[in-house]
Amino acid sequence: MNYKLPGNIIIISLLIYLLFSCTPNSCQDVMISTVKAGFYETGTGKPLTADSVTMFGLGNDTTTIYNKALNLTTISFPLDASSDTSILILRINGNNDTVTLVYTSYAYLVSKECGFTFYHILDTVYNTRPEIDFLKKNQNITTVNEENIRIYY
């Protein structure tokens, strides 16, 4: 009778493993797609570090994305999937600019466990100040860590 005990332990261990391996909180994927932007020097194209960055949505001054963030080489920010345009106020080292991003959004199935997120296709970037310039590098805004915009100043 003692010969069946190791077999039962293996079966019980396997059942416990299968039970806990499929938990509802098993989604480890990044679920928010964000625009990724890097800072570059006008003329040379060398990567820069911004001393101070402030960014918030126009008409949404209470939600600040960056508030005098120091020593940044890149920034990232989400887009509104319910709209095709986002207008942001960007302050780099004391220089203010109004940035308008025009894009289309579509639902993307991340996985069965994680569900859907929104990806975006960036069409155009407009800004108001000649001291700061924007170059669209990659129009596909996803959860992958790829640079979408280069900011020259």
> Of 38, 58, 14, 32, nearest to 137 (Cα)?
38
**Residue that is written with structure tokens 């990567």 in the block:** 47
Looking at residue 152, its pLDDT comes to 96
User: How far apart are alpha carbons 108 and 42 in whole angstroms?
Assistant: 36
Looking at residue 12, its pLDDT comes to 56
What single letter denotes the amino acid at residue 126? Y
In a 3-state reduction of DSSP, which class is residue 153?
Answer: coil
Residues 58-108: pLDDT tens digits? 876 667 999 999 999 999 999 999 999 999 999 999 999 999 999 999 999
Strand 115-127 and strand 133-136: the pairing is: unpaired
pTM recorded for the entire structure = 0.78
Looking at residue 6, its pLDDT comes to 55
Instruction: Provide the terminal-to-terminal Cα distance of the chain, rounded to the nearest Å.
Output: 80
User: How far apart are alpha carbons 140 and 148 in whole angstroms?
Assistant: 7
User: How far apart are alpha carbons 69 and 139 in whole angstroms?
Assistant: 26
β strands within 112-148, DSSP E:
115-127, 133-136, 140-141
Calculate ∠ Cα 134-140-143, nearest 5°: 110
> Of 22, 27, 23, 21, nearest to 114 (Cα)?
27
Residues 108-153: pLDDT tens digits? 999 888 999 999 999 999 999 998 999 999 999 999 999 999 999 9
Q: Where are the domains of the chain?
A: 25-152
